[in-house]
């Protein structure tokens, strides 16, 4: 039985650009590690080792491609009447539920790469440090609207400590 909150809310996905970003990052890392490994293996053991590393890397890339696709589908958020739901994870799944009245502040983050891809990360903070409520890589406009809506809702329902 999956961790399934489908019936409770209308889920929205994070930006499609996230897939591009995660895939590119992963592939760059695989290629980088493989290059170092192949050179080292080639010098120390012989050309066969270099070839083996290269083959392994080539096999890893489609695997990573598929994994990122699943990861992207797993990420999602839903605005309900009283709270925000954020789900994530393929193997280890998590649904976080943050009542609007509990939000202390909403944070929006955007790095240089994010700006280029027009995405941003929105994070909700409550008085509890354990609260783990960030939505990565939303389309910039969505992120801004979400932040404004959340801030307004949070203010309207503030319950304090």
Could you tell me if 131 and 123 are in contact, meaning their C-beta atoms sit under 8 angstroms apart?
Answer: no
74 - beta bridge partners? none
- Round to whole Å and give the CA distance between 11 and 155: 24
102 touches another protein (CB under 8 A): yes
Q: Which is nearer to another protein, 5 or 23 (CB)?
A: 5
Instruction: Please select the residue that binds another protein; options are 110, 131, 134, 140, rule is CB under 8 A.
Output: 131
- Where does residue 103 fall: left (phi above 0), alpha (psi -120 to 50 degrees), or beta otherwise? beta
What is the separation of C-alpha 152 from the centre of its chain, rounded to a whole number of angstroms? 25
Q: Give min distance, CB of 120 to another protein, in A.
A: 21
For another protein, the binding residue among 29, 36, 94, 116 (CB under 8 A) is: 94
**Minimum CB distance to another protein, residue 97 (Å):** 4
Q: Which residues bind another protein (CB under 8 A)?
A: 1-5, 8, 82-83, 91-99, 101-102, 104, 126-133, 157-161
């Amino acid at each position: 039985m999956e961790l399934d909150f489908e019936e409770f809310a209308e889920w929205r996905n994070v930006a499609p650009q996230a897939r591009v970003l995660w895939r590119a990052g992963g592939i760059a890392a695989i290629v980088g590690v493989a290059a170092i490994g192949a050179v080292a293996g080639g010098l120390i053991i012989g050309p066969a080792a270099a070839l083996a590393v290269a083959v392994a890397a080539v096999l890893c890339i489609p695997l990573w491609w598929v994994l990122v696709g699943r990861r992207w589908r797993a990420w999602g958020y839903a605005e309900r009447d009283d709270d925000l739901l954020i789900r994530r994870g393929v193997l280890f799944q998590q649904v976080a539920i943050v009542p609007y009245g509990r939000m202390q502040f909403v944070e929006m983050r955007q790095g240089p790469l994010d700006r280029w891809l027009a995405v941003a990360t929105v994070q909700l903070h409550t008085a509890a440090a354990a609260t783990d409520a960030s939505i990565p890589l939303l389309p910039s406009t969505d992120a801004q609207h979400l932040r404004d809506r959340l801030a307004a809702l949070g203010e309207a329902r503030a319950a304090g400590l």
